[in-house]
Chain A
Amino acid sequence: QVQLVQSGSELKKPGASVKVSCKASGYTFTSYAMNWVRQAPGQGLEWMGWINTNTGNPTYAQGFTGRFVFSLDTSVSTAYLQISSLKAEDTAVYYCARVGTGTTPYDAFDIWGQGTMVTVSS
């Protein structure tokens, strides 16, 4: 079936980096845009941006430029989120989410990964 499976929880120290993976299965990976969404503890959903799985071109939402990098490995149908220079305020659950149709973010997110908890603490 169509699913997104993310990598496991991470505990990192401030200043470190983390790379979260999102492996797709059950559909043609390059036919649907992939989004990243952050949810801080007890808070709502925040769209971080998206990556065109056809071209590999990333687009970052306001507030997610500089330390955040979206990438792909289409050979294994996997999207990645890397965060560098981690801060305590990066502590959150990070979700990947597929757009329902097409290779742009202009549609509902029909398939979600299970989420990856990233904790930043000294």
Chain B
Amino acid sequence: EIVMTQSPATLSVSPGERATLSCRASQSVSSNLAWYQQKPGQAPRLLIYGASTRATGIPARFSGSGSGTEFTLTISSLQSEDFAVYYCQQYNNWPAFGGGTKVEIK
């Protein structure tokens, strides 16, 4: 079983600033890594797949990087609508989600 660990649990950022979220896998998942955004009362939305490919309609301020066991989601300039919880997920093996990072307004 692959365990996904996200850090930090909460990230306080001012609008317009850059946010960097981390995700670590307990063993290599190659580039089989996705990022999701979830707002209160809503279903998760796919942001990034293949570690670095933006899903359809996702703004360019969202970018993903990494491979193997270390991954990063960067939001270059936070907009008001970006404050949410973000989950990473590996699908190299049976799918598994990280515990999430809440991005809150500073």
Asked whether, in the complex, the Cβ of B87 is within 8 Å of the Cβ of A45, the reply is yes
Asked whether, in the complex, the Cβ of A45 is within 8 Å of the Cβ of B43, the reply is no
Most B CB within 10 A of own CB, among A50, A61, A106, A113: A106
A2→B1 CA distance, assembly (Å): 32
Among B46, B50, B98, B99, which residue has its beta carbon within 8 angstroms of that of A109?
Answer: B46
Asked whether, in the complex, the Cβ of A62 is within 8 Å of the Cβ of B1, the reply is yes
A109→B91 CA distance, assembly (Å): 9
Among B36, B50, B92, B96, which residue has its beta carbon within 8 angstroms of that of A47?
Answer: B96
Asked whether, in the complex, the Cβ of A44 is within 8 Å of the Cβ of B87, the reply is yes
A108→B91 CA distance, assembly (Å): 7
Given contacts A105-B91, A106-B91, contact A44 B100 (CB under 8 A): yes
Among B43, B49, B92, which residue has its beta carbon within 8 angstroms of that of A113?
Answer: B43
Asked whether, in the complex, the Cβ of A110 is within 8 Å of the Cβ of B55, the reply is yes
Contact size range, B = 20 to 34
A50→B32 CA distance, assembly (Å): 17
User: Whole-angstrom distance from the CB of A51 to the nearest CB of chain B?
Assistant: 13
Among A45, A46, A62, A107, which residue has its beta carbon within 8 angstroms of that of B91?
Answer: A107
Residues of A contacting B97 in the complex (Cβ-Cβ under 8 angstroms): 37, 44-47
User: Whole-angstrom distance from the CB of A104 to the nearest CB of chain B?
Assistant: 9
Asked whether, in the complex, the Cβ of A108 is within 8 Å of the Cβ of B49, the reply is yes
User: Whole-angstrom distance from the CB of B37 to the nearest CB of chain A?
Assistant: 11
Asked whether, in the complex, the Cβ of B92 is within 8 Å of the Cβ of A115, the reply is no
Residues of B contacting A52 in the complex (Cβ-Cβ under 8 angstroms): none
Residue numbers of B with Cβ under 8 A of A are: 1, 32, 34, 36, 38, 43-46, 49-50, 55, 87, 89, 91-92, 94-100
6 additional contacts (CB under 8 A) given A44-B87, A97-B44, A110-B46: A35-B95, A45-B44, A95-B43, A109-B34, A110-B55, A115-B43
